[in-house]
Chains A and B, each alone.
Chain A
Amino acid sequence: MALYKSYSKNEKGKQYLRNGLIMTLLAILALATLFPIYYMIMSSFGAPVESGAASYSLIMKNPTLDSYKFFFAYSKYSLRWILNSFIVAGAVTVSNVIFATAAGYAFSKLRFAGNKLLFSLLLVAMMIPYQVTQVPLYILVVNVLKIDNTYTALIAPGLVSAYNVFLAKQFIGSLPTEIIEASKIEGCSQFKLLTKIIMPLSKTVMAVMAINTFMNSWNTFFWPFLVTKTENMQTIQVGLKNFSFANTTYFAPMMAGATVSALPMFILFFMLQKYFLEGVTVGAVKG
């Protein structure tokens, strides 16, 4: 990356010093942000006991896997919850990446009547506090469409979000228009243009969209909680809440569940990482 000054060979010391400073700064900040995750994992190795309070301890004592066993034994649906979350988040992610990229391309590069108006409408959708749309949405899904306790109810409202359309629009909008014009001249149809030119160039933002959408969907609690009626349809976030009672909580098993539920995201992150590690630049494609 040539944003930074590249040092010549005899200045290597300076470069190390600079990178060392950067690393230290980043590491200190990272420690602060990593703390909750450390706490979650550490607590998950505690004993599966009912307690009135969380653990206030920084160090792991007598680590045991009992809470993990307890988590899976607690409900016969423990694994099912994770599977459900995977199905919902997977479907939502795939549809978001595809549809939001297409829409982002259309809004940023294509001319059609109502382009700006429709986009503004989408933005307004983001601005309405969800507290007031929750009940009408519930009425629609449960009373009108009668699809409660199904995957459709869990997935459909999240199929494509205004947030992702906006993100795709901003990224694709900054791609040079000449490439598109050139491909058009070569006789590319719009569909081909999207799949052969725009999408390869938008790989980075698509990967970002994928991981963010998956994460959000995976962490969503309230909507799945509202529209599921039986334990076998619950997602992991809903299931985890079953571990807290009125005055007591199975704290360690809950943390074990949270840790288990974080694993798929962990894996997805590293799977997708190579896509947002290397930026795709127009120059790279051209050359």
Chain B
Amino acid sequence: MKQLKKGVAILLVMVMSLMAFTGCKKENAANDGNNDSTQKPTTTTAPNTDAQPTAEAAEPDTITVLLPPVSPTYQDYFDEWAKEFNELYPNLTLNIEAASWEDVGQKLDVQVQAGSPPDIAFVGAGSISKYIDTGLLVDISDYATEEMLNDFDQNILNYYRNGDGLYGMPAYAEVHGIGGNREMLEKAGIDWRKVQQEGWTFEEFREAIKKGVVKEGDTTKTYGFVFACSGVTAADYLNIFVKNAGMPDIFTKDLKYAYTSKNFLKLLEAMRTLIDDGSMPKELSSIDAGKRWNMFLTGQTMITGKGLSVFERSAKLNNDKIDANDGSAVEGSIKADYIILPVPTFFGNPMQAAGAIDGYVMFRGKEEPKAEHLSNVAKAMYFLASGEIAAITCNDLYISPVCQTGKDAMANVEKPEGKNEDNTKAAERLVSMISAARTDITPELGAKAQRIADEVMVPKFQALLANEITPQQMYDAVKQAAIEAFGEDGIVVD
């Protein structure tokens, strides 16, 4: 007992002294990073008014930013960017906080609910409606200058519009598509260059992935196509394919819920046949993103989804490791060149690429913010979304910037070595086919549709992939939920 007590006492003392010690260190560290401003970095702190009465236009202000690792090297630049920004606007301090992709949304959500979000956050254009609903998302049209907004591709910028408001600036536009293994595509006799340029129909796609299947006895060695469908990722598979079946959005132009169209049922039937053909694994419903990428690298599938341009980089990195032969390549992997492919079109409908537009949004706190602070935030937003930073980010992601200054700055950025030019062209073509932005879907409609997607569509779709229900059953369930949510008149009947 004595020993235990002694031990506890020692531990206690140790902890106390450590706390005191590190407490000091912490303050020092905070000061180091904050030479330029003695202001505490809080969103709502009013600028110190009596400090510099002469320089009213240049009152010191701090802008807080919460960012995920948008691209592989993105977070390495934070200190540099904060410094550059401060050189550009000597009265402004940029305070960047990083969080991983998986968790950044949840931290933001807690902060938003608590009424104290950062000034700038990284939010996909698809999820702005729930933030608009909180009243904390700031309409930037009053604070961003004309010049800033004209820099962006207008269709892409429009993804951040809702109603009359503009709520963000895009960092990039990426197309969620699919991608194939070059050698296998060629072996299966698929003219991938032609597909990249002209697209393909579902029938062509179905035949192509049948040819990609390699069997050894009864077991399939290579599948034609694998899409990550485990858990919530199943939604991606459906959302990407449904665009090319005549339903570019959940709501039609006259704001009726689109997925009650007969085409939706036909699409489900078509997607089911790919598994029944044996071109896709029957266990598709629980293959996760990591697994399917492993399958791609190890030659277990010819085509994989969802596909992003940056996968070319991941595949190339692994190829280099195979060449180096130092055992660091993914176990069992083969050399695989990643080829960007468009999603097939269904029933003669036009190609509508699924745009994933991510970017920067502006928040206010509970207290009424000052207009000047908000225009400062707009400056910081534009700083992050344009020019050199846009170029670096997009270059990292193997895509082209969506703003003119970013495109111009690409000249100064070192391009990745050995980049596949066909892929670059295909990606550009796909970005140009991103479906038109919808600014007329109210947050309320969007929220209802999201709930149907989470509570009915995805669970039923998983069951469909696992062959537990028929396409008709899933269609009926979605239709019933849609009628409950939007009424008989709120849905498409054809």
| Direct A/B contact, Cβ within 8 angstroms | yes
Which residues of A are interface residues toward B (Cβ below 8 A)?
46-47, 49-57, 61-62, 83-84, 86-87, 90-91, 93-94, 97-98, 134-135, 138-139, 142-143, 151, 199-200, 203, 206-207, 222, 225-226, 229-233, 241-242, 244-248, 275
Give the CA-CA distance A53 to B29 in the complex, in Å: 36
Q: A57-B331, A135-B114, A230-B97 are in contact. List 12 more A-B contacts (CB 8 A).
A: A51-B318, A52-B294, A134-B110, A138-B110, A142-B114, A142-B116, A151-B19, A230-B29, A232-B29, A242-B69, A242-B100, A247-B293
**Chain B residue at minimal CB-CB distance from A66:** B328
Partner of B70, one of A49, A61, A246: A246
Q: Determine if B341 is an interface residue (Cβ-Cβ < 8 Å).
A: no
A83-B18, A94-B11, A143-B116 given; A47·B327 CB < 8 A: yes
- Which parts of B312-354 form the interface with A (CB within 8 Å)? 314, 317-318, 321, 326-328, 330-331
Give the CA-CA distance A228 to B68 in the complex, in Å: 15
Interface pair A275/B103, CB less than 8 Å apart: no
Q: Mark B1-41, 1 if CB is under 8 A from A, else 0.
A: 10011001001101100110011001001100100000000
Q: Determine if B217 is an interface residue (Cβ-Cβ < 8 Å).
A: no
Give the CA-CA distance A229 to B99 in the complex, in Å: 9
Give the CA-CA distance A163 to B187 in the complex, in Å: 62
Interface pair B30/A203, CB less than 8 Å apart: no
Give the CA-CA distance A246 to B330 in the complex, in Å: 19
A94-B12, A247-B308 given; A51·B97 CB < 8 A: no
A139-B114, A143-B116, A247-B308 given; A229·B97 CB < 8 A: yes
**Chain B residue at minimal CB-CB distance from A61:** B327
**Chain A residue at minimal CB-CB distance from B68:** A246
Give the CA-CA distance A61 to B333 in the complex, in Å: 15
Interface pair A94/B15, CB less than 8 Å apart: yes
Q: B99: which A residues are within 8 A, CB to CB?
A: 225, 241
Interface pair B14/A54, CB less than 8 Å apart: no
A49-B328, A203-B1 given; A56·B294 CB < 8 A: yes
Q: Determine if B413 is an interface residue (Cβ-Cβ < 8 Å).
A: no
A203-B1, A242-B100 given; A247·B311 CB < 8 A: yes
B71 to chain A, nearest CB (A): 8
Q: Determine if B416 is an interface residue (Cβ-Cβ < 8 Å).
A: no
What is the count of residue pairs linking A and B with beta-carbon distances less than 8 angstroms?
128
Give the CA-CA distance A232 to B294 in the complex, in Å: 35
Q: Determine if B436 is an interface residue (Cβ-Cβ < 8 Å).
A: no
Q: Determine if B157 is an interface residue (Cβ-Cβ < 8 Å).
A: no
Partner of B15, one of A50, A52, A87, A135: A87
Give the CA-CA distance A138 to B97 in the complex, in Å: 18
Give the CA-CA distance A187 to B459 in the complex, in Å: 67
B461 to chain A, nearest CB (A): 23
A10 to chain B, nearest CB (A): 41
Interface pair B72/A248, CB less than 8 Å apart: yes
Interface pair A62/B18, CB less than 8 Å apart: no
- The interface size of chain B toward A, counting residues with CB under 8 Å, comes to 55
Residue of B15, B102, B297, B317 contacting most chain A CB atoms (<10 Å) = B15
A206 to chain B, nearest CB (A): 7
Q: B311: which A residues are within 8 A, CB to CB?
A: 52, 247
Interface pair B314/A87, CB less than 8 Å apart: no
Interface pair B101/A62, CB less than 8 Å apart: no
B392 to chain A, nearest CB (A): 15
Interface pair B103/A138, CB less than 8 Å apart: no
A136 to chain B, nearest CB (A): 8
12 contacting pairs across A/B (C-beta < 8 A): A46-B328, A52-B297, A53-B290, A54-B290, A54-B294, A94-B11, A135-B114, A143-B116, A151-B22, A225-B99, A244-B102, A246-B69
Q: Mark B279-305, 1 if CB is under 8 A from A, else 0.
A: 000000000011101100100000000
Interface pair B290/A49, CB less than 8 Å apart: no
Report whether over half of chain B's contact residues are helix, strand or loop; otherwise say mixed: helix
Interface pair B113/A135, CB less than 8 Å apart: yes
- Which parts of B68-94 form the interface with A (CB within 8 Å)? 68-72, 75
Q: Determine if B426 is an interface residue (Cβ-Cβ < 8 Å).
A: no
Q: A61: which B residues are within 8 A, CB to CB?
A: 327, 331
Q: 5 tightest CB-CB pairs across the interface, nearest first?
A: A47-B328, A62-B327, A52-B293, A53-B290, A241-B100
Interface pair A62/B308, CB less than 8 Å apart: no
**Chain A residue at minimal CB-CB distance from B118:** A229
Give the CA-CA distance A19 to B116 in the complex, in Å: 61
Interface pair B314/A50, CB less than 8 Å apart: yes
Residue of A97, A151, A233, A246 contacting most chain B CB atoms (<10 Å) = A246
Q: B72: which A residues are within 8 A, CB to CB?
A: 50, 245, 248
**Chain B residue at minimal CB-CB distance from A241:** B100
**Chain A residue at minimal CB-CB distance from B70:** A246
Q: Determine if B47 is an interface residue (Cβ-Cβ < 8 Å).
A: no
Partner of A47, one of B5, B75, B289, B326: B326
Q: Determine if B262 is an interface residue (Cβ-Cβ < 8 Å).
A: no
Q: A97: which B residues are within 8 A, CB to CB?
A: 8
Interface pair B18/A135, CB less than 8 Å apart: no
B111 to chain A, nearest CB (A): 8
A87-B15, A135-B114, A229-B97 given; A50·B326 CB < 8 A: no
Residue of A49, A52, A84, A199 contacting most chain B CB atoms (<10 Å) = A52
B489 to chain A, nearest CB (A): 36
Q: A275: which B residues are within 8 A, CB to CB?
A: 4
Give the CA-CA distance A47 to B289 in the complex, in Å: 22
Q: Determine if B310 is an interface residue (Cβ-Cβ < 8 Å).
A: yes
B297 to chain A, nearest CB (A): 8
Q: B310: which A residues are within 8 A, CB to CB?
A: 247
Interface pair B328/A94, CB less than 8 Å apart: no
Q: Determine if B98 is an interface residue (Cβ-Cβ < 8 Å).
A: yes
Q: A139: which B residues are within 8 A, CB to CB?
A: 114-115
- Which parts of B85-133 form the interface with A (CB within 8 Å)? 97-103, 106-107, 110-111, 113-116
Give the CA-CA distance A225 to B106 in the complex, in Å: 10
Q: A86: which B residues are within 8 A, CB to CB?
A: 18
A83-B22, A246-B70 given; A52·B328 CB < 8 A: no
Interface pair B22/A87, CB less than 8 Å apart: yes
Partner of B101, one of A94, A200, A246: A246
Give the CA-CA distance A203 to B7 in the complex, in Å: 13
Q: A233: which B residues are within 8 A, CB to CB?
A: 26
Give the CA-CA distance A47 to B322 in the complex, in Å: 13
- Which parts of B223-266 form the interface with A (CB within 8 Å)? none
Interface pair A62/B294, CB less than 8 Å apart: no
Give the CA-CA distance A94 to B8 in the complex, in Å: 7
**Chain B residue at minimal CB-CB distance from A51:** B330
A34 to chain B, nearest CB (A): 22
Interface pair A225/B101, CB less than 8 Å apart: no
